[in-house]
């Protein structure tokens, strides 16, 4: 079963992917992920001020700068994990190095 | 006992087990409930003719399991699933096998009370699957439209399936936290059943707590069971013609001794490193054991409230402690503690009512009257307002 972990942040202390990859806490988290099922994808996202939102109205493409919703906390990265069940996904979200700072939302994949 | 009574009795004691087992073997909550219902209907139809089976629970589980197999057979679209399930379902091993898996109801309890589900859904699901209340009954108990309750149950089951909430007793590292969740749901159920009209909720909460304590003994589960038994033992005397009767004024000969004895026995077996439910149960036990209100061990109650406050500091706990202190050291000592809490509990009618009572006992009648009036304005129920109004009249006429 796959779950997406949406990791939020407010951008005050944003680390780069290289910095995060070098964190011992993150490395040991990855070891735990592999032990429980495996990491299918994972990435950091550039902050929302670099976002572009596209809408199509009456066949016209409208572009606006910024995210579709202005929020204090935004999705800073995602992890796609293979887990036995929701309890495993919760355990991995709870031990993610960012978990102490901002909420992490877990979304199960839509599977048949 | 007539056959219909036997089916009723089996429904109360076996429904949860039948559903829990069917969920384990089919993985399908709706199918499990439907087949359990069918099995009970079948019991009503055949037991009068064939007699009550020696082991009603095993009979019902086997019947429900066969029904599940029939249904899956008929559903051609589910043939793939049938192939996977058929071996478990067709396994018609002797009933002894059911005894080998005594924890299906525990699995069900922990799954119903999974923290990923909203609390109101946890409660509804527990009542539906473990206690066997129908959706309309649950809707009535919680004063919501039937469609709303049905939707709540559907959503909860969908989330269990789609998010893959595991059907199991949680592993040791998660158990304390998850046990607290289950106990919280049972106590919520019990408190919803505190009023006379919804007594069945309290009865079910006690029944489920007994199951929990017997399958997975833990000090806090025992504490909760004892607490509910002590509170329930006083049901007949708590009100008279809809009016509240205080603990001191209740007719203790009408308290349910069997419940009190059961509660004391459960509580007796524990008490190492007591948690909040055990402490509250121990306090309730002090009242339960006093044959007359004057015999109450208030010193012990005050000490127990101090322990409760250490675990969960709260002004409401302090207020209760103040009441006990007033009994031990006199109303002036109690009042001093209560007055310290006024800033922390603004608008709380029980604080005003407690002050009023202590002021009355200190013969400070004018202040007592003001406090009763304040409590009257804040009290949330008619019964409480009538009680306070009565006290106010007594004070004025004395």
- If you write DSSP's letter for every residue of B272-319 in order, what string do you get? SS--HHHHHHHHHHHHHH-SSGGG--HHHHHHHHHHHHHHS--HHHHH
pLDDT for the residue A28: 95
- Summary mean pLDDT of chain B: 90
Looking at the structure, tell me whether residues B40 and B88 fall in a common domain.
Answer: yes
Most confident of A62-66, B24-28, B151-155: B151-155
* A60: helix, strand or coil: strand
Does B390 fall in a domain? no
pLDDT over 90 (residue A75): yes
Same domain, B91 and B54: yes
**What part of A 63-102 touches B (C-beta under 8 Å)?**
84-87, 90
What sign results for the dihedral spanned by CA atoms A17, A19, A22, A26?
A: negative
Q: Is residue B315 part of a domain?
A: no
| pLDDT at residue B290 tops 70 | yes
Q: What percent of chain B has pLDDT over 70?
A: 91
Cβ of A87 and B166 within 8 Å?
yes
Check whether residue B76 and residue B113 sit in a common domain.
no
Q: End of a domain among B75, B101, B127?
A: B101
Number of residues that this document lists for chain B: 398
Q: Give the model confidence (pLDDT) of A4-49 as tens digits.
A: 999 999 988 888 999 998 999 999 999 999 999 999 999 999 999 9
B62 and B139 co-located in one domain: no
pLDDT(B252) > 70: yes
Q: CA end-to-end span of chain A, whole Å?
A: 11
| CB B221 within 8 Å of CB B179 | yes
User: How far apart are alpha carbons B211 and B30 in whole angstroms?
Assistant: 23
The interface pTM score, or ipTM, of the predicted complex is 0.89
Nearest Cα neighbor of B24 from B59, B56, B83, B64 is B64
Measured CA to CA, the distance from residue B284 to residue B88 in angstroms comes to: 47
Q: Which domains does chain A have, with CATH numbers?
A: 1-9+16-46+76-112 (3.30.70.1060)
> What end-to-end distance do the CA atoms of chain B give, in Å?
56
Q: What mean pLDDT, rounded, does chain A reach?
A: 93
B115: nearest CA in chain A?
A: A87
Q: Cβ contacts of residue B213 below 8 Å, gap of 6+?
A: B221, B222, B225, B266
How far apart are the CA of B77 and the nearest CA of chain A, in angstroms?
A: 14
Q: Is B132 helix (H, G, I), strand (E, B) or coil?
A: coil
Interface touch A86/B163, C-beta < 8 Å: yes
Alpha carbon distance B211, B129 (integer Å):
14
Of B38, B70, B101, which marks where a domain is finished? B101
- Interatomic CA distance for residues B222 and B263, integer angstroms: 9
Cβ within 8 Å, pair B164-A90: no
- Measured in residues, chain A has a length of 112
| The two three-digit tokens of residue B85, written as one number | 């399930």
Choice among B154-158, B172-176, B266-270, B302-306 with the minimum mean pLDDT: B266-270
- Rounded Cα distance, B265 and B375, in Å: 38
| Region of B81 on the Ramachandran plot (φ > 0 left; ψ -120 to 50 alpha; else beta) | alpha
Among A86, A110, A111, beta carbon nearest to B165: A86
pLDDT tier for residue B236 given thresholds of 50, 70 and 90:
very high
Task: Note whether A82 and A1 are within 8 A (CB).
Answer: yes
Q: d(Cα A83, Cα A102) in Å, to the nearest integer?
A: 22
pLDDT at B57 over 50: yes
% of chain B with per-residue pLDDT over 90? 76
* Predicted local confidence at residue A69, as pLDDT: 83
- CA of A31 to nearest chain B CA: how many angstroms apart? 20
Q: Number of structural domains, chain B? A: 2
Same domain, yes or no, for B108 and B195? yes
Q: Does residue B392 sit within a domain?
A: no
Spatial separation of the C-alpha atoms in residues B340 and B73, rounded to whole Å: 70
Q: Same domain, yes or no, for B77 and B136?
A: no
| Among B340, B338, B342, B344, CA closest to B357 | B338
Please check whether residue B253 lies inside any domain of the structure. Answer: no
pLDDT band at residue B378 using 50, 70 and 90 as cut-offs: very high
Q: What does the pLDDT read at residue B77?
A: 56
Task: Determine the structural domain holding residue B23 and report its residue range.
Answer: 3-101
Residue of B nearest to A1 (CA): B164
Note whether B170 contacts A90, CB cutoff 8 Å: no
Query: Could you tell me if A1 lies within 8 Å of chain B, comparing CB atoms?
Result: yes
B354 φ/ψ sector (left φ>0, alpha ψ -120 to 50, else beta): alpha
Mutate to test the interface with A, among B107, B162, B164, B177 (most CBs of A within 10 A): B164
Domain boundary among B172, B200, B228: B200
Structure tokens at A29: 């988290």
Domain contains B206: no
Q: Helix, strand, coil proportions of chain A in percent (round to 5)?
A: 30, 35, 35
Tell me the C-alpha distance between B176 and A21, whole Å: 34
Contacts of B369 (CB under 8 A, 6+ apart): B356, B392, B395, B396
The per-residue pLDDT for range B120-162, each reduced to its tens digit, is 999 999 999 999 999 999 998 888 999 999 999 999 999 999 9
């Amino acid at each position: 079963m796959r779950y997406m972990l949406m990791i939020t942040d407010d951008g005050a202390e944003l680390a780069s992917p290289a910095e995060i990859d070098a964190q011992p806490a993150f490395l040991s988290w990855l070891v735990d992920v592999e032990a429980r099922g495996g990491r299918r994808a994972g990435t950091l996202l550039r902050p929302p001020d670099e976002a572009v939102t596209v809408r199509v109205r009456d066949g016209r493409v409208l572009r606006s700068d910024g995210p579709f919703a202005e929020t204090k906390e935004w999705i800073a990265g995602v992890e796609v994990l293979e887990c036995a069940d929701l309890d495993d996904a919760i355990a991995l979200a709870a031990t993610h190095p960012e978990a102490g700072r901002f909420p992490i939302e877990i979304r199960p994949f839509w599977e048949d | 006992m007539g056959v219909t009574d036997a089916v009723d009795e089996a429904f109360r004691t076996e429904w949860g087990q039948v559903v829990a087992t069917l969920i384990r073997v089919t993985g399908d909550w709706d199918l499990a409930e439907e087949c359990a219902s069918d099995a009970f209907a079948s019991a009503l139809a055949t037991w009068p003719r064939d007699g009550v089976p020696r082991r009603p629970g095993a009979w019902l589980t086997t019947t429900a399991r066969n029904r599940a197999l029939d249904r899956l057979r008929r559903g051609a679209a589910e043939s793939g699933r049938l192939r996977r399930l058929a071996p478990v379902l067709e396994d018609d091993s002797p009933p002894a096998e059911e005894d080998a898996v005594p924890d299906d109801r525990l699995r069900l309890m922990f799954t119903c009370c999974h923290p990923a589900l909203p609390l109101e859904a946890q409660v509804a699901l527990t009542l539906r699957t473990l206690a066997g209340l129908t959706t309309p009954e649950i809707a009535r108990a919680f004063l919501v439209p039937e469609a709303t309750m049905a939707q709540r149950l559907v959503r909860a089951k969908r989330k269990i399936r789609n998010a893959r909430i595991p059907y199991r007793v949680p592993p040791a590292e998660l158990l304390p936290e998850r046990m607290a969740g289950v106990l919280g749901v049972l106590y919520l159920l019990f408190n919803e059943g505190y009023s006379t009209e919804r007594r069945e909720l309290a009865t079910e909460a006690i029944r489920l707590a007994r199951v929990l304590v017997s399958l997975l003994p833990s000090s806090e589960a025992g504490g909760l069971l004892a607490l509910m038994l002590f509170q329930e033992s006083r049901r007949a005397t708590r009100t008279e013609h809809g009016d509240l009767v205080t603990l001191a004024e209740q007719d203790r000969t009408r308290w349910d001794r069997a419940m009190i004895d059961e509660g004391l026995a459960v509580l007796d077996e524990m008490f190492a490193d007591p948690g909040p439910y055990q402490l509250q149960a121990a306090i309730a036990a002090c009242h339960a054991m006093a044959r007359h209100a004057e015999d109450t061990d208030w010193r012990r109650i005050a000490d127990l409230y101090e322990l409760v406050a250490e675990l969960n500091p709260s002004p409401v706990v302090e207020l209760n402690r103040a009441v006990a202190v007033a009994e031990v050291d006199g109303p002036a000592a109690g009042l001093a503690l209560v007055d310290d809490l006024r800033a922390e509990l603004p608008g709380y009618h029980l604080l005003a009512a407690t002050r009023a009572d202590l002021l009355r006992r200190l013969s400070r009648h004018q202040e007592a009257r003001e406090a009763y009036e304040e409590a009257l304005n804040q009290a949330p129920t008619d019964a409480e307002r009538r009680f306070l109004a009565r006290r106010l009249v007594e004070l004025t006429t004395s």
